Each structure stands twice: as C-alpha cells, then as structure tokens.
C-alpha cells in the first residue's frame, strides 16, 4: 500500500518542485496571495503564487500563441532559461550602447536586480504551462528594458498594464489596477494621462512578447526590436 501511495505522489509531481493542489486549495492560495500582493507589491513570492493559481485560462492561451509562431515554437521546444548561469554577462556588457544585451545589463545594474530572483513555478499542473509562466517571469526584466521603465512603483505599474493587456494573466490585471494606490497625486496624473494609455496601446499593438527568442537578439538595437514587436516609443 505504501508503495502505491508513493507511486501516486510521484505521478502527481509533474516537474521538480511541483506541488499538486486541488481547485479549492488553488482558490485559497489565490485569495491569500492576492491580499498579500496588494498589501505589499514587492512580495514577489505572493505575486508569483497568485500568477500560478489564477493563470488557468491565460496560460494555455499564451502557450497556443507560442505554438503557432515559428520563434515561439522554437522556444517551447528548446526551453531556454535566462539566468546568471546561462548568460555571459561580460559579453553582454561589452555590446554597443543601445543594443538589447547592453541595455539589459545596464537595467540590472542600475536597478540592482538579478535574473536569478525569479521564483520557479510550483502550482501549475502542467509541465509545459509551468515553462510558459517561468519564461514570462524571466523575460519580465526585458519588458522593463524594452519599455524603458525602472523598477520603482511607477515603472512596475506601467509594465504590469502592458503585461496585463499582452498576457491576460489575472495577477497582471490586479497589479495594474491596484498598484497605483500608493503613488502620489503627481505620479498618478502622469500615469493616468500618459503612461498607462501608452502601455495599453503598446500592449494591444504589440505581437506576443513571449514569441521573441531574446537570447538570440542581444546584438539587436532596442529601438529596432521595439519596432519589430510593435511597442510605441516611450512618452
């Protein structure tokens, strides 16, 4: 009997770190993480849990977009990862100013962030969809780079609006809607009149950002990649 239980548990764990959960457990995790993420938007762990427990409709949609696109399909097949262990930071730092690689490294340095802080998925009950959300997390800093937005509250809200339109992930929608609560009146005005309309227009106009094999685009100028994807120049 013990063997049977062990077999059953092993069968439910679809990838390393996966935690099987029932729909009710997912709902409770989603509610709890939503409260915590709204209370403290910098609790990336809570934002991550929220993304996984509420992404059941958006993630298959994103995967399908990748499957039907030649570059996106290759990403799904090859499963590249953006981590310090896979990046040649010195080479990226030596690329010309304005190139994606150089500007990405600059973004990481200026904002003191590391690609290794992204949490691995735990609650997504499909191995391929777990990769899709992992990929979404790992290209998040590249979204900041492409949109020219810092990691402060204002920058995060703008990127979340863009991602909400692009991905339809409920956690992005929540972040976009409730993130501005803590901003000053002046910042809110800039956000409402300039930045959010630009982020929404760009998100609607842009092709799916998960269909770009960024690792093979490091030399490409940010401006040309922006144009190719369909992101309007930042205001």
CA-based nearest residue to 152, from 189, 98, 110:
110
DSSP 70-101: HHHHHHHHH----STTT--HHHHHTSPTTBHH
* Largest interatomic CA distance in the chain: 65
pLDDT for the residue numbered 163: 95
Name the β-bridge partners of 99. Answer: 221
Is 96 part of a structural domain of the chain? yes
Task: Using alpha carbons, select from 166, 192, 210, 200 the residue that is nearest to residue 71.
Answer: 210
Residue position matching structure tokens 């092709």: 207
From residue 184, alpha-carbon distances to 127, 200, 223 in Å are: 42, 21, 31
118 exposure class (CB count in 10 Å sphere: 0-12, 13-18, 19+):
buried
Is pTM beyond 0.75? Reply is yes
Closest-CA residue to 177 (of 28, 85, 41, 32): 41
pLDDT reported for residue 7: 45
Low-confidence ranges of the chain (pLDDT < 70): 1-12, 41-42
Find out whether 222 and 100 touch, Cβ atoms under 8 Å: yes
Look at residue 127 and tell me if it is in a domain: yes
Q: Would you state the pLDDT for residue 5?
A: 46
- Contact (Cβ atoms closer than 8 angstroms) between residue 209 and residue 139: yes
Q: Does the residue 234 lie in any domain?
A: no
Report the pLDDT value the prediction gives residue 98, as an integer from 0 to 100: 97
Q: Residue 41: its pLDDT value, please?
A: 67
Beta-carbon neighbour count of residue 16 at 10 Å?
Answer: 8
Q: Is there a domain that residue 235 lies in?
A: no
CA-based nearest residue to 210, from 82, 84, 122:
82
- Per the structure, the count of domains in the chain is 1
- 184 lies in a domain? yes
* Range(s) of the domain holding residue 117: 1-229
Q: Which two tokens stand for residue 116?
A: 């290794």
Residue 115 within any structural domain of the chain:
yes
Q: How far apart are CA 155 and CA 171, in angstroms?
A: 16
Phi and psi angles of residue 178, each rounded to the nearest 5 degrees, phi first: -105, -15
Residues in Cβ contact with 226 at an 8 Å cutoff, skipping those fewer than 6 apart: 146, 233
**Is 161 exposed, middle or buried, given 0-12, 13-18 or 19+ CB atoms closer than 10 A?**
buried
Measured between its terminal Cα atoms, the distance across the chain in Å is: 64
């Amino acid at each position: 009997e013990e063997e049977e239980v062990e077999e059953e548990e092993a069968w439910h764990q679809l990838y390393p770190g996966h935690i099987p959960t029932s729909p009710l457990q997912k709902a409770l995790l989603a509610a709890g993480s939503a409260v915590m993420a709204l209370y403290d938007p910098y609790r990336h762990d809570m934002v991550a849990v929220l993304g996984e427990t509420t992404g059941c409709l958006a993630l298959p949609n994103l995967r399908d977009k990748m499957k039907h696109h030649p570059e996106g399909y290759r990403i799904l097949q090859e499963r590249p990862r953006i981590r310090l262990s896979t990046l040649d930071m010195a080479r990226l730092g030596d690329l010309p100013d304005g190139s994606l690689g150089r500007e990405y490294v600059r973004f990481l340095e200026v904002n003191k962030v590391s690609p290794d802080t992204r949490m691995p998925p735990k609650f997504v009950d499909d191995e391929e969809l777990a990769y899709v959300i992992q990929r979404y997390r790992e290209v998040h800093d590249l979204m900041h780079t492409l949109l020219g937005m810092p990691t402060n509250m204002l920058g995060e809200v703008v990127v979340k609006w863009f991602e909400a339109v692009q991905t339809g992930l409920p956690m992005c929608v929540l972040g976009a809607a409730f993130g501005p609560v803590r901003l000053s009146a002046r910042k809110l005005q800039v956000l409402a009149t300039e930045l959010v309309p630009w982020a929404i227009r760009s998100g609607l106009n842009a092709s799916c950002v998960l269909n770009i094999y960024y690792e093979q685009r490091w030399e490409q100028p940010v401006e040309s990649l922006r144009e190719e994807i369909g992101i309007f120049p930042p205001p």
